[in-house]
Structure 1
């Protein structure tokens, strides 16, 4: 197996990357935004990956395209295609419906590149919402009242599972020891 320069393994069956320019990056950004709702930082990462891959292959300097990326991302933000607040609110609601804790939601938003201030505004810790999310998580993972085995023997493991998911010990105990509301 012949390796490319920079220790990069060859990519079997994958065509060579296109030579990037501002028009290509603009089209790539719009195509990506047609499929995904992303924050500004995520769009920058996607475009930068395309630039890095193309520049490695064509022996170009990736810094030449930083102004084009700034312009494209700025235009997407100005036109409303990229809105960090809208993304953060929608993503937080989606993750809460799936049974994620406030901590997990905050970590997920931060990983996507949402700023700390916006994460703090979006993810508000409310005991009722947290309890409902913990119940959803327990139901999905078949913990506590939703488990099929011996609940007493598995109690500590189930509480630990919810605690690792980011729920407080009080909420984890409430859900695991509950009668299975809505079961």
Structure 2
């Protein structure tokens, strides 16, 4: 590729700039920031035939610096992500899975989810409205699509009981 520069070997300053640049654009957990920096180091090490383990201390130092300065806070990240996913109709299971995937520890996830004011049934109603399932379906074949709608709700992480209550609601005012 003409005009593309090769990746430079990481230094504390370069990794710090990369971390800050990433955090300016995205909210992140501590573990996720570590993964981002590890990918950057791995790319540079492949190009320069170096061992990525040599740079592990630098990555730890940069992540510690970002955590210490307040740029990265797992609890705040979990609260923000949970609120966002709940507004979009995310189930408790889906939120737990996404936060765990980003490296937030189980205890933080549990405490954040216990403090959420939106009920699971309300979130299911939002999800059904957004996806136009059940009472929000504008077609006449609502009964023919019932099984598919229930399956979609269950795949989204809602319990079968909640899915049945939302999908079988009389009209879109009940859910």
Q: What is the aligned partner in structure 2 of residue 52 from structure 1?
A: 42
Is the Cα–Cα contact under 8 Å of residues 39 and 84 in structure 1 kept in the other structure?
yes
Q: What is the aligned partner in structure 1 of residue 145 from structure 2?
A: 154
Unaligned runs of 5+ in 2: none
Structure 2 residue corresponding to 1:123, chosen from 113, 119, 123 = 113
Aligned residues: 173
1:58/1:125 CA distance change after superposition, 3 Å: same
For residues 92 and 158 of structure 2, the distance between their equivalents in structure 1, rounded to whole angstroms, comes to: 8
CA RMSD of aligned residues (A): 2.1
Larger RCO (alpha carbons 8 Å, 6+ apart): 2
For residues 4 and 174 of structure 2, the distance between their equivalents in structure 1, rounded to whole angstroms, comes to: 50
Deviation at 1:124, TM superposition (A): 2.9
Q: What is the aligned partner in structure 2 of residue 3 from structure 1?
A: none
Cα deviation code 1:66-103 (max 9, x no counterpart): 11111111111111110000000110110010111000
Cα deviation code 1:147-177 (max 9, x no counterpart): 1221111112111110111111111111111
Deviation at 1:13, TM superposition (A): 7.3
1:167 maps onto 2:147 in alignment: no
SS in 2 for 1:100: coil
1:127/1:19 CA distance change after superposition, 3 Å: closer
1:31 maps onto 2:8 in alignment: no
Unaligned runs of 5+ in 1: 1-10
Q: TM-score, normalized by length of structure 2?
A: 0.91
Q: What is the aligned partner in structure 1 of residue 9 from structure 2?
A: 19
Is the Cα–Cα contact under 8 Å of residues 26 and 72 in structure 1 kept in the other structure?
yes
1:85 maps onto 2:75 in alignment: yes
- In the TM superposition, structure 1's runs of 4+ consecutive aligned residues that sit over 4 Å from their partners are 11-14, 125-128
SS in 1 for 2:173: coil
For residues 78 and 144 of structure 1, the distance between their equivalents in structure 2, rounded to whole angstroms, comes to: 48
Q: TM-score, normalized by length of structure 1?
A: 0.88
